[in-house]
Amino acid sequence: MTEPQAKKHLRRLLLSLTPGSILHVLSAVYHDVAERAGRKGDERRRQQCQVVATALFVMGLGIDATCPR
């Protein structure tokens, strides 16, 4: 998928989802990656992905709080 195609899909998503909810979905993806890394014993990757997951979730809350629908 090209960047213009991705932007088009994202615009469509934003018609039914809030920006914060999209970030929450990305947060869940990174949380899953963190869990897999933990099971494999890669503690550094687990921590990094968990930090990203947490940051995305909090940013999603902030965006939806400041720009509600």
Binned at pLDDT 50, 70 and 90, residue 13 comes out as confident
The range of the structural domain enclosing residue 52 comes to: 17-66
User: How many domains are there within the chain?
Assistant: 1
Residue 9 lies in a domain: no
Rounded to two decimals, the pTM is 0.83
CB 42 within 8 A of CB 5: no
Give the tens place of pLDDT for each residue, 33-44.
Answer: 999 999 999 999
pLDDT of residue 34: 98
Residue 5 lies in a domain: no
Give the tens place of pLDDT for each residue, 45-61.
Answer: 999 999 999 999 999 99
Residue 25 lies in a domain: yes
CB 59 within 8 A of CB 23: yes
Residue 3 lies in a domain: no
Residue 11 lies in a domain: no
How far is CA 28 from each of CA 3, 4, 5, 38, 64, rounded to the nearest angstrom?
22, 25, 23, 15, 17
| Encoded tokens for 34 | 């963190």
Residue 12 lies in a domain: no
Would the pLDDT of 68 be above 90?
no
Residue 42 lies in a domain: yes
pLDDT of residue 14: 86
